[in-house]
Homo-oligomer: A and B are copies of this chain.
Amino acid sequence: MSRLNIELPGLKLKNPVMPASGCFGFGKEYSQFYDLSELGAIMIKAATAEPRFGNPTPRVAETSSGMLNAIGLQNPGMKKIIEQELPWLSQYDVPIIANVAGSTEEDYVKVAKEISIAPNVHALELNISCPNVKTGGIAFGTIPEVAKELTRKVKQVSEVPVYVKLSPNVTNIVEMAKAVEAGGADGITMINTLVGMRLDLRTGKPILANRTGGLSGPAVKPVAIRMIYEVSQAVSLPIIGMGGIQSAEDVIEFFYAGASAVAVGTANFVDPFICPTIINDLPELLEQLGYEHISECTGRSWKKHESPAYHRA
Contact = CB atoms under 8 A, between A and B. Distances in A.
Contacts of A297: 204
Contact of A221 (B63, B204, B223): B63
Nearest to A222: B196
A201 interface: yes
Interface string A239-260: 0000010000100110011000
Contacts of A197: 222, 225-226, 229, 257
A157 interface: no
Given A171-B170, A223-B215, A199 B64 contact: no
Contacts of A142: 171
Report whether over half of chain A's contact residues are helix, strand or loop; otherwise say mixed: mixed
Interface in A142-162: 142
Q: How many copies, total?
A: 2
A206 B65 CA distance: 22
Contacts of A195: 223, 226
Contacts of A198: 222, 225, 253
B301 A252 contact: no
25 contacts: A64-B221, A64-B244, A65-B65, A65-B219, A66-B219, A68-B222, A170-B170, A194-B222, A194-B223, A195-B226, A196-B225, A196-B226, A197-B225, A197-B229, A198-B222, A199-B253, A199-B256, A199-B257, A199-B301, A201-B252, A202-B289, A204-B256, A204-B297, A205-B301, A212-B229
Interface of A: 63-66, 68, 142, 169-171, 194-199, 201-202, 204-206, 211-212, 215, 217-223, 225-226, 229, 244, 249, 252-253, 256-257, 289, 297, 300-301
